Amino acid sequence: MKILAVCMGNAERLPGKSYKTGIYKHQVGGNVLVDGEGLVGDTICNRKHHGGVDQAVYLEGSLTLDWWAEVLARPIDPGTFGENMVVGGLDNRIVAVGDQFIAGDLVLEVTSARIPCATFAARMRDPLFVKRYTQAARPGIYCRVLTSGAVAAGMTVDHVQYEGEKVTMPEMITTFGKVLGAQDRNRYLAAPIHYKLRNILEVQARA
């Protein structure tokens, strides 16, 4: 696999909205440093729901973006979904929490699935897009940074699958906001999931 695009954004105002967002990502050239907080120089406006150590980098697989382009009947340029990187030959559905993506010195570890929001729907100019994205069950991939490094389009990426029990991206978006049974909850907690979800599940376990 290769990195097809590296994308960053500036604070831009959504049409018809009063607030600014960093969801408008654009493909950039050259090397980009990625540290524990994500791509250095990338803009994240809403820190409550975006960014942070456990969703420092947002990946999309090219096969998933190709699927969306066919469904939406229009090209999906790199950065359209707000992703930081597009990985060639990757289908988001096969990715699980704990999988690693390694490009040069950079080591990313998958923590969670991208959950759509109203800003995403506004970006796509489709008020029903949150529902469509959720039902499609092909969510984007959030990662933490295990080892910092510089990345650029064209770099080789190794996808190393998690050896434990799988918690896949489709499952994560399907179960979002739901109370898990004890067996599934324990499986989730055994994986290196996003710390916010871990806190929620640990509270459920004590209830």
Choose the weakest-confidence range: 1-10, 38-47, 130-139. 38-47
Q: Percentage of the chain surpassing pLDDT 70?
A: 95
Helices (H) and strands (E) in the chain, counts: 6, 13
Q: Check whether 51 has a pLDDT greater than 80.
A: no
Q: Check whether 45 has a pLDDT greater than 80.
A: no
> Is 134 exposed, middle or buried (CB count within 10 Å of its CB: 0-12, 13-18, 19+)?
middle
Assigned architecture for domain 3-206: Beta Barrel (2.40)
Q: What is the pLDDT of residue 205?
A: 79
Give 118-163 pLDDT, tens digit per residue: 888 888 988 899 999 999 999 999 999 999 999 999 999 999 999 9
Q: Check whether 170 has a pLDDT greater than 90.
A: yes
DSSP for 121-180 reads HHHHT-TTHHHHHHHHT---EEEEEEE-EEE-TT-B-EEE--SSS--BHHHHHHHTTSPP
Q: What is the pLDDT of residue 50?
A: 67
Give the domain ranges of the chain. 3-206
